């Protein structure tokens, strides 16, 4: 696999992560389904995995970049599994409405597993690491779009978390943005 094909596949992967984060924002802003602390940590896992993939786009494919993505995805999967296990016991309820009969934290776990498997498959072809080729002009718009989308979503998640949690701990079941709540006089 050439470095250009690797960059194309990494750009598609980063767009996939961007899509997941965009859907999380739509759920948060449009449907007013505020993320719980575990949901915020899962978003951080997506950001860490996306950071590793973004490194491949900017600096060329490297095994260490895939390692960053895998570590982020494994951490996110562990957090998602924790949330699944919290709500798997009958009568304990769940967090948020289901989408296609699965809750968002279950979909997040599936997405993290896909990221780990995708990175592992990419690591199987050593030819992409042979020498760093300059990014060809025909591939530049897609990786650039993926990077810009990821950057905007990363910044958006930081601001969203600050607005939701303020300067302290995040509420277990948030009902409003702490930063915008009226302070009692």
All structural domains of the chain with their residue ranges: 3-180
- Check pLDDT > 60 for residue 184: no
pLDDT band for 158, please (50, 70, 90 cuts): very high
Q: Is 116 exposed, middle or buried (0-12, 13-18, 19+ CB in 10 A)?
A: buried
- Yes or no: say if 37 and 97 are a contact pair by the CB < 8 Å rule: no
pLDDT band at 124 (very low <50, low <70, confident <90, very high): very high
What pLDDT does residue 148 have? 94
d(CA 130, CA 15): 25
Query: Where is pLDDT greater, at 161 or 175?
Result: 161
Distance CA 125, CA 83 (A): 34
User: How many residues are present in the chain?
Assistant: 185
The 10s digit of each residue's pLDDT in 50-84 is 999 999 998 888 999 999 999 999 999 999 999 99
Residue 146 phi, psi dihedral angles, 5° rounding: -65, -45
Stronger pLDDT, 60 or 94, i.e. the higher one: 60
pLDDT at 185: 45
| pLDDT surpasses 60 at 95 | yes
Is the CA virtual torsion 100, 102, 108, 114 positive or negative?
negative
Give Cα separations from 115 to 3, 27, 53, 181 (angstroms). 19, 22, 10, 37
Apex CA 135: angle with CA 123 and CA 64, to 5°? Answer: 30
Lowest mean pLDDT among 2-6, 22-26, 70-74, 163-167: 2-6
At 65 the pLDDT is: 95
What is the pLDDT of the chain when averaged over all its residues? Answer: 89
Phi, psi of 99 (to 5 degrees): -120, 115
Q: What is the pTM of this model?
A: 0.90
- The CATH label, of 1.10.3470, 3.40.50, 1.20.1550, 3.30.70, for the domain at 3-180 is 1.20.1550
- Banded pLDDT at 136 (limits 50, 70, 90): low
Q: Please state the rounded mean pLDDT for residues 116-143.
A: 81
Q: Rounded mean pLDDT of 156-181?
A: 87
Give the contacts of 129 (CB within 8 A, at least 6 positions apart): 61, 62, 63
pLDDT average, residue stretch 92-108: 84
């Amino acid at each position: 696999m050439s470095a250009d094909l690797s960059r194309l596949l990494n750009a598609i992967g980063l767009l996939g992560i961007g899509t997941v984060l965009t859907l999380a924002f739509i759920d948060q802003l449009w449907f007013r389904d505020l993320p719980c602390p575990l949901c915020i940590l899962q978003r951080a896992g997506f950001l860490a995995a996306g950071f590793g993939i973004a490194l491949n786009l900017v600096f060329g494919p490297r095994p260490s970049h895939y390692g960053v993505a895998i570590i982020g995805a494994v951490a996110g999967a562990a957090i998602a599994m924790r949330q699944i296990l919290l709500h798997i016991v009958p009568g304990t309820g769940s967090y948020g409405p289901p989408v296609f009969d699965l809750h968002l934290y279950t979909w997040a776990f599936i997405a993290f597993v896909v990221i780990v498997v995708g990175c592992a498959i990419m690591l199987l072809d050593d030819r992409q690491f042979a020498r760093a080729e300059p990014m060809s002009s025909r591939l530049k718009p897609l990786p650039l779009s993926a990077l810009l989308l990821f950057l905007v979503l990363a910044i958006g998640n930081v601001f969203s978390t600050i607005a939701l949690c303020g300067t302290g701990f995040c509420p277990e079941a948030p009902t409003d943005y702490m930063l915008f709540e009226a302070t009692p006089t």
